[in-house]
Structure 1
Amino acid sequence: MTLTDLTHSVADGMPVYPGTTPVEFERTTSVAADGARAHVLTLQTHAGTHVDAPCHMREGARCLDAFDVDDFRFDATLVDCTGHGARDPITVADLPDEGVAADADLLAFATGWSEHWGTDRYRDHPYLTGDAAAWCAERDCSVGVEGFSPDPTPSAVPDRERDDEPEGYPAHDALFAEDQFIVENLADLVAVPDSFVLHAYPLPIEGGDGCPVRAVAEH
């Protein structure tokens, strides 16, 4: 058995979705002065590598604490999208056949985009069309992505945005309508095989709409 860490490290000032709360560490005590070292960590529930619950964008939908811990262990199938460039759509034509999807709890879209983590280019990740996300959700598959979102993220360079990009969050909407999860900001999916087990366990936050996770591939 091999374990591959698919998690971006949590660090002060790390990248976050545009307009959301920055991640901050504040040291509160030290070994020298207080006998123990401790910090206060400020981060949004959707910072770093994290899982989205359906209640994130759907009123009345289930939150993290409404699921069993085993629901965050996924039989995952890799979808190779490394040929997609900046802000390219991932469409139904890019998805695996029915038989492959039937054996999966989650489709992990490997774009190689995690190599741009910490740069403005990271915002220009490929994205799922609403139809592609609906295809996944209708086959009872959650989704994992190497980007801030399965939907387009506002670019640091607005001229890079395309006229045909969807408005709103159609991929989120399609997945949450079928009670599926979205695991965002996965790292280095190109390092895992076509089939693996994804462990992505959030803290048991009451009413949690999302939570950072330690995402680990078992293969």
Structure 2
Amino acid sequence: MESWLDLSFPLVTGMPVYPGDPRVEVSQALRVAEHGVNVLRLHMGSQSGTHVDAPYHVDEAWPTLDDLPLERFAGPAVLADVRGLPARAPITPDLLAPALSRLRLQPTAILLLATGWSAYWGTDHYLAHPWLTPEAAQAIVGAGGRTVGVDALSVDPTGGAALPAHRVLCGAGGVIAENLTGLARVADAQEAGSPVEVFLFPLHLPGADGAPVRATARIGGGARSG
């Protein structure tokens, strides 16, 4: 039986953002009583909330969001379950080995890294998430992966300047989705053998480094197995 999951955090005023990014503010611009319609006013950065990074995010010579093919933002899911790691722990290639074996058989799949860190959303501990080593990022690229999502603030350590995992993935023309949530249910579906398909379509922002997404997963039904 087909079911749908929302893998996104809601966009609300004062929500967590990467240190230094614009604050998110959502307010009422027009009201039915006064103007005949309801319209919200939005102020946010391109990396606000659940979002995707284009290669341009880390290198001005690399593709912008609208340069990327739409198929990069949807596909069958392969989930790497790395829950249980301590704060600021590295995610190494050996931890990804089972998922990478599946990814090699289906290189169009979206690799989801389930760290469990979405449970700390809105707390200071959310910044202490596990992170992807450059070697692990290279292993993903070597397995054919070009779209990677994580239920944490970044695939790199928050606060670091070099962003090595970003550079490996984006340097291969890849897409990175960050601040996902609800991946435990995707893990359960994969464990049960149910097919899962993920959708990460961003706002159409020409020349952008990234954009918020309404990340969703379809379990069962017409989804293809990862």
**Are 1:127 and 2:131 an aligned pair?**
yes
Work out whether residues 54 and 63 of structure 2, in 8 Å CA contact, stay in contact via their aligned partners in 1. Answer: yes
Instruction: Give the whole-Å Cα distance in 2 for the aligned partners of 1:212 and 1:74.
Output: 18
Give the letter for the 2:101 counterpart: G
Paired residue for 2:143, among 139, 142, 152? 139
Give the structure 1 partner of residue 94 of structure 2.
93
Instruction: Give the whole-Å Cα distance in 2 for the aligned partners of 1:8 and 1:26.
Output: 18
Give the structure 2 partner of residue 208 of structure 1.
208
Give the letter for the 1:133 counterpart: A
Give the structure 2 partner of residue 82 of structure 1.
83
Give the structure 1 partner of residue 177 of structure 2.
183
- 5+ residue gaps in structure 2? 220-226
Instruction: Give the whole-Å Cα distance in 1 for the aligned partners of 2:53 and 2:75.
Output: 14
Q: CA RMSD in A?
A: 1.5
CA-to-aligned-CA distance 1:137-168 (integer Å, 9 cap, x gap): 222212111111000113xxxxxxxxxxx762
Instruction: Give the whole-Å Cα distance in 2 for the aligned partners of 1:55 and 1:167.
Output: 16
Give the structure 2 partner of residue 161 of structure 1.
none
Specify the SS of the correspondent of 2:34.
helix
Give the letter for the 2:149 counterpart: G
Work out whether residues 72 and 175 of structure 2, in 8 Å CA contact, stay in contact via their aligned partners in 1. Answer: no
Count of aligned pairs: 208
CA-to-aligned-CA distance 1:84-130 (integer Å, 9 cap, x gap): 11111100110134531212422111111101111111111111011
Give the letter for the 2:162 counterpart: G
Specify the SS of the correspondent of 2:71.
helix
Specify the SS of the correspondent of 2:40.
strand
Instruction: Give the whole-Å Cα distance in 2 for the aligned partners of 1:148 and 1:99.
Output: 26
Work out whether residues 92 and 135 of structure 1, in 8 Å CA contact, stay in contact via their aligned partners in 2. Answer: yes
Q: TM-score scaled to structure 2, two decimals?
A: 0.87
Work out whether residues 118 and 180 of structure 2, in 8 Å CA contact, stay in contact via their aligned partners in 1. Answer: yes
Instruction: Give the whole-Å Cα distance in 1 for the aligned partners of 2:27 and 2:80.
Output: 39
Work out whether residues 13 and 23 of structure 1, in 8 Å CA contact, stay in contact via their aligned partners in 2. Answer: yes
The runs of at least 4 aligned residues of structure 1 exceeding 3 Å deviation read: none
Instruction: Give the whole-Å Cα distance in 2 for the aligned partners of 1:49 and 1:20.
Output: 14
Instruction: Give the whole-Å Cα distance in 1 for the aligned partners of 2:201 and 2:151.
Output: 17
Instruction: Give the whole-Å Cα distance in 2 for the aligned partners of 1:147 and 1:106.
Output: 16
Instruction: Give the whole-Å Cα distance in 1 for the aligned partners of 2:139 and 2:46.
Output: 27
Identity of aligned residues (%): 39
Q: TM-score scaled to structure 1, two decimals?
A: 0.90
